[in-house]
Structure 1
Amino acid sequence: QSVTNSSRFQVSEFILMGFPGIHEWQHWLSLPLALLYLLALSANLLIVITIQHESTLHQPMYQFLSILAIVDIGLATTIVPKILAIFWFDTKAISLPQCFAQVYAIHSVMGMESGIFLCMAMDRYVAICYPLQYPSIVTETFVVKCTAFMVLRNGLLTIPVPVLASQRLYCSRNEIEHCLCSNLGVTSLACDDITMNRFYQLVLVWVIGGSDMGLVFASYALILRSVLRMNSAEATSKALGTCSSHLILIFFFYTAIVVVSVTHLAGKSVPLIPVLLNVLHSVIPPALNP
């Protein structure tokens, strides 16, 4: 079907259908999602306020925790309010600019979360492996530079994702089998070739997620080696206790990314799994991180 000359798009809006295959009872999922969202907001706000008001916590490690809490609030807020609006008020329609804006927000905030995990891993690596040099290496300036780099990296590298999506021709279908505007979910409705969209999505995942994940696990491998060399059982226990919760969250975060990517490539045989993981991946870490 041809596209009119007055508009790049034949459709004027997308329709977010929710979870594929369970449309009849998906509204029951709104309660646990709402509770997780409230938990994420309240707990992360409490962390930010506590760190800001307690002078003894004005240290790089806690500043990274504060930044992570802010990113978590942004990550959950990017998708959960719209999902609850779909379930509670049946507001499934979303305009094209709003949809592409959500695509950008999701990718950039996800990348920021990954980047902060990397910064925190570097902080723990220096603290455990080079404790004497830690105060001179990990300073407030170091925190500011790391944060600024992550914001610029993710903000700039993510721009092509919604730009490429907006250049596709959406000339017929407009129903997205998802609760949110994911890049591949939106571009799969296009009438023209989306090879470049898929290629850049893959590049982005590996450049940001892959590099961060590799450096994070390399840092913890070096930390583990250093810890195992300690003669003090108390020092070993303290070091492992400091890193264990961080490692659990990192493991869940990156495992979900890998599973979502693989199930997307698997095609339409398991559509519910990547959709459900996409949603849980954006709300469970913000609720558990505190």
Structure 2
Amino acid sequence: MAAFNLTLSDSTTFILMGIPGLEAAHLWISIPLSMFYVIGLLGNFMILFVVGKEVTLHKPMYLLICMLALTDIGMPTSIVPRALFIFWFNLKLITLGGCLTQMFFIHLVSVMHSAVLVTMAFDRYVAICNPLRYTTIVTNTQIAKLGLMALIKAILFILPLPLLLSSLPFCANHIIPHTFCEHIGFAKLSCGDITVNRIYSLVIAFLVTGLDLMLIILSYGLIMRAVVRISSKKAHQKTLSTCTAHVCVILASYIPGLFSTLMHRFGQDMAPHTHIILANFYFLLPAMLNPIIYGMKTKELRDKMGQYTFSR
């Protein structure tokens, strides 16, 4: 209690509560949380190792898979270790700088993740709609440039978030009823005007997530139009099978996020701890499922991963 009183008088220190209302179950909740995290780390590091080791996999598609694996490592790593410190050791204090840093990396990696999915959709579009020019349009160098552009875009869009928050005054309430620092949730603790923060959050939602999703839908609309024009049923199936893994990854990435958003908008009757648990698993599930999806659906990668897994 003394630590809590000290914190409330310190304008630069906050308290992450974890999952309010389920404090007694924190240890039990940490079990699936840590398991999903470890499985995701192992799967994504395995992909990075195999692709890096095998020269035959040094192709644009596998470079994109590696970029996705990096974001799938970064997203849960921005959240889970801090949550486990709360669940296991009751270490709830976090500085303003620590909170803003965590928030920056959470949103940065989320924007990068979305950008990689768009680039993958572009890769599949060129492979199916313009196959003769695929090797000249989609090269490792081009993919690396797109990845760098995505990183720069993410930094430019996300950097204003902690800058805007750092200029806000924080008065009495320093208790964050969550396992991590999220932009609007943290902004609501301020006793100042957060209108700019709300508007900028909407701008990011429309210009980043909304636009990326529209580009993915457009890419697959053009792909479906090209597939319909193919007369051979066998060619239909072969062409669509090249998109299966990416479509599954898109669904695994966007459906939990959409579900979480709908719960926030229309699930006012739901207990707050339900929202917090959903928010945590929204970051965990794609990171755990994506390497499994690509490991199962991409034959060349599956074979190479099998060699390294069972030959040692």
Please report the TM-score for the alignment, with normalisation by the length of structure 1. 0.92
User: Which residue is equivalent to 2:29?
Assistant: 29
Structure 1 residue 249: Cα displacement: 2.3
Match of 1:31, as an amino acid? I
Structure 1 residue 272: Cα displacement: 3.4
Kindly indicate whether residue 90 of structure 2 is the aligned counterpart of residue 90 of structure 1: yes
Structure 1 residue 162: Cα displacement: 0.9
Q: Tell me which protein shows more helix as a share of its residues.
A: 2
Structure 1 residue 263: Cα displacement: 4.3
Q: How many residues align?
A: 282
> After alignment, is 249-258 or 69-78 more displaced?
249-258
User: Which residue is equivalent to 1:214?
Assistant: 214
Instruction: Tell me how far apart the structure 2 counterparts of residues 146 and 273 of structure 1 sit (CA, whole Å).
Output: 37
Structure 1 residue 248: Cα displacement: 2.4
Structure 1 residue 10: Cα displacement: 4.9
User: Which residue is equivalent to 1:4?
Assistant: none
Structure 1 residue 269: Cα displacement: 4.6
Q: Is the contact between residue 10 and residue 170 of structure 1 (CA under 8 Å) also seen in structure 2?
A: no
Matches within 5 A, 1:120-159: 120-159=120-159
Q: Is the contact between residue 264 and residue 275 of structure 2 (CA under 8 Å) also seen in structure 1?
A: yes
User: Which residue is equivalent to 2:236?
Assistant: 236
User: Cα gap change, 1:16/1:165 in structure 2, threshold over 3 Å: closer, same or farther?
Assistant: same
User: Which residue is equivalent to 2:49?
Assistant: 49
Secondary structure, counterpart of 2:30 in structure 1: helix
Instruction: Tell me how far apart the structure 1 counterparts of residues 69 and 257 of structure 2 sit (CA, whole Å).
Output: 20
Q: Is the contact between residue 260 and residue 282 of structure 2 (CA under 8 Å) also seen in structure 1?
A: no
Instruction: Tell me how far apart the structure 1 counterparts of residues 49 and 34 of structure 2 sit (CA, whole Å).
Output: 22
> After alignment, is 252-261 or 241-250 more displaced?
252-261
Instruction: Tell me how far apart the structure 2 counterparts of residues 227 and 168 of structure 1 sit (CA, whole Å).
Output: 53
Secondary structure, counterpart of 1:181 in structure 2: coil
Instruction: Tell me how far apart the structure 2 counterparts of residues 90 and 217 of structure 1 sit (CA, whole Å).
Output: 44
Deviations 1:16-37 (A, max 9, x none): 1122433331321111111111
User: Which residue is equivalent to 1:289?
Assistant: 290
Q: Is the contact between residue 10 and residue 171 of structure 1 (CA under 8 Å) also seen in structure 2?
A: no
Structure 1 residue 256: Cα displacement: 3.2
User: Which residue is equivalent to 2:110?
Assistant: 110
User: Which residue is equivalent to 1:279?
Assistant: 280
Instruction: Tell me how far apart the structure 2 counterparts of residues 184 and 263 of structure 1 sit (CA, whole Å).
Output: 16
User: Which residue is equivalent to 2:4?
Assistant: none
Unaligned runs of 5+ in 1: 1-8
Instruction: Tell me how far apart the structure 2 counterparts of residues 114 and 16 of structure 1 sit (CA, whole Å).
Output: 27
Q: Is the contact between residue 41 and residue 73 of structure 1 (CA under 8 Å) also seen in structure 2?
A: yes
User: Which residue is equivalent to 1:6?
Assistant: none
Secondary structure, counterpart of 2:79 in structure 1: helix
CA RMSD in angstroms, aligned pairs only: 1.8
What is the identity percentage for the equivalent residue pairs of Structure 1 and Structure 2?
39
Instruction: Tell me how far apart the structure 2 counterparts of residues 60 and 77 of structure 1 sit (CA, whole Å).
Output: 26
Instruction: Tell me how far apart the structure 2 counterparts of residues 262 and 197 of structure 1 sit (CA, whole Å).
Output: 21
Kindly indicate whether residue 197 of structure 2 is the aligned counterpart of residue 197 of structure 1: yes
Secondary structure, counterpart of 2:132 in structure 1: coil
Secondary structure, counterpart of 1:94 in structure 2: strand
